[in-house]
Amino acid sequence: MLALRVCWRRICIISFFEGHRLLPSTHAHNPSERPLHTLTSRRMLLLRTLQHAGRATKCLTHTRSFAVSATTRLSVDRSIYVSKSTNPYFNLTLEDWLFRHKSPKDPLLLFYRDEPCIVIGRNQNPWKEVNLSSAENTGTPWIRRRSGGGTVYHDLGNTNFSIHLSRSAFDRNETGQIVLKAVRSLGVDANLNDRNDICVGKDKISGSAYKIVNNRAYHHGTMLISTRLDTLGDLLRVNKPSLVTKGVASVRSPVRNLQQYNPSVTHEGFVQAVITAFRETYNIRDEVCEVEETEEVKSIPYISAGMEELPQWNWAFGQTPEFTYTLSNTFTWGTVTANIHSKHGMILGCTLETSASTLPVQPNLQGLGEQLSGQKYGFVEEDVLVLEDDTRREVWSWLRNKMSR
């Protein structure tokens, strides 16, 4: 595995919900898988990210009701895969590898679960979608995935599914019906809404995103079984109405866990139910192939390169669509309004206006705004800034705090 050049803010986690942000239902019970580790040090968070992105994850032991064959040699000759890794960097890359290398004429089904993380859509703004302060405090990474849609939270109480087909055979409603059939077989009276999200009443238990490339397509999504809904809400709660982005904005939706309707539902039970529906739909008889995150698998060039790319600044932040952010603050000497323009993670311009009547203040602020132009948003190299007076230092301290969370 190549060394990862990762800054603490490069950590990401994600979602598979097309245009939807998942929020806990106000009347939902929140069962817990386990508490998150609290890491307040950015140094510790960086270390955790490096370990998370690069380590091999041990296989979980559980009772299965379906035939499986474990493999340390990854191939594309199967139709049903279950990842035994809980490393989101590996799982997202595995999904992409299968999508790019499996023949599109053969239906494919993949399942995986991740350690706690936030996953944002391909065309989203992390400063708009992720509570970066909460993510840092809880040591929760965030990741930009390769498909569109909105931001979601992953943990071991959530199961991710991915259905791959040829573009000509791909039908969003049909793939949605496969998962819906599985959920109903578990005794839950669910339905598909007009966006093909799976709901019980008005509460969402699963949302989806899609990707189409040439003659290939996939539908992937999450299934909330026993996820930490309280943590989900904290990490995805962002209030920045003056940050206006050209990217995809998540739509808030109330959510609940599948276990709130049937407490006996487990990850294994859901996986088996979807496998059964998938086999019936496409006449598949293959055994389930369990994939281990071994060094041999990670040494596949496409997978090693993909795992290295996800935490990099160029992918995590450099793919951020154009946005503007207007904010104001009152100091002892006057009020300052900042207008920041950014694209692909770079500051294109920053204007600073003040109500202060003191003559030198405005030129000083104008100079600071000019220095910020061309810098990485949220990652400004302070040693290139000329902070020659208290006014600039005070304004810069305020801006730095606002851009970093």
> How confident is the model over 322-356, as pLDDT tens digits?
999 999 999 988 899 999 999 999 999 999 998 86
For the ranges 54-58, 160-164, 296-300, 383-387, which has the lowest average pLDDT? Answer: 54-58
| 248 Cβ contact list (under 8 Å, min separation 6) | 19, 121, 123, 124, 148, 149, 150
In the chain, domain spans: 8-316, 323-403
Within 85-131, residue ranges assigned H as helices are 88-101, 126-129
* Residue 139 DSSP one-character state: T
Amino acid code (one letter) for 329: N
Burial 148-166 (b: 16+ CB within 10 A, else e): bbbbbbbbbbbbbbbbbbe
Question: CATH for 8-316?
Answer: 3.30.930.10
Residue of 16, 261, 223, 6 whose CA lies nearest to 119: 16
Instruction: For tokens 């920041």, name the residue.
Output: 340
Please tell me the predicted confidence (pLDDT) of residue 124.
Answer: 98
Q: How far apart are CA 315 and CA 319, in angstroms?
A: 5
pLDDT in tens, 156-198: 999 999 999 999 999 999 999 999 999 999 999 999 998 889 9
Residue of 267, 311, 26 whose CA lies nearest to 154: 267
Identify any residues that bridge with 331 across adjacent strands, giving them in sequence order: 334
Torsion of Cα atoms, 95 then 100 then 103 then 107, to 10°: 30
Look over the chain and give the mean of its residue pLDDT values, rounded to a whole number. 85
CATH 3.10.330.10 fits 323-403, yes or no: no
Q: How far apart are CA 290 and CA 78, in angstroms?
A: 10
CA dist 300 → 43, 81, 92, 227, 307 (Å)? 30, 17, 15, 32, 11
Both structure tokens of 319: 């793919």
In this prediction the pTM is: 0.83
HSE-up (13 A, CA, CB side) for residue 63: 2
Q: How far apart are CA 178 and CA 172, in angstroms?
A: 10
Number of residues in the chain: 405
Both structure tokens of 273: 């139910």
Instruction: For tokens 């994939």, name the residue.
Output: 291
Residue 105 CB neighbours (<10 A): 11
Please tell me the predicted confidence (pLDDT) of residue 62.
Answer: 36
For the ranges 21-30, 116-125, 325-334, 352-361, which has the lowest average pLDDT? Answer: 21-30
Please tell me the predicted confidence (pLDDT) of residue 251.
Answer: 81
Please tell me the predicted confidence (pLDDT) of residue 333.
Answer: 87
Residue of 24, 58, 100 whose CA lies nearest to 305: 100
Strand order in the sheet with 288-291: 68-71, 288-291, 80-83, 108-112, 158-166, 216-224, 208-213
**Where is pLDDT greater, at 130 or 47?**
130
Checking if the pLDDT of 5 tops 60, the result is: no
Are 274 and 206 contacting, i.e. CB atoms less than 8 angstroms apart? no
Please tell me the predicted confidence (pLDDT) of residue 272.
Answer: 98
Within 117-207, residue ranges assigned H as helices are 126-129, 132-138, 172-185
Q: How far apart are CA 143 and CA 117, in angstroms?
A: 8
Q: How far apart are CA 93 and CA 80, in angstroms?
A: 17
Both structure tokens of 155: 């943990």
Checking if the pLDDT of 22 tops 80, the result is: no
Q: How far apart are CA 354 and CA 75, in angstroms?
A: 62
Average pLDDT over residues 5-9: 35
Torsion of Cα atoms, 149 then 152 then 158 then 162, to 10°: 20
Both structure tokens of 261: 């309707």
Q: What does the DSSP assignment read for 319-334?
A: TPPPEEEEEEEEETTE
Query: In the structure, what pLDDT confidence band is assigned to residue 71 with cuts at 50, 70 and 90?
Result: low
Average pLDDT over residues 359-384: 87
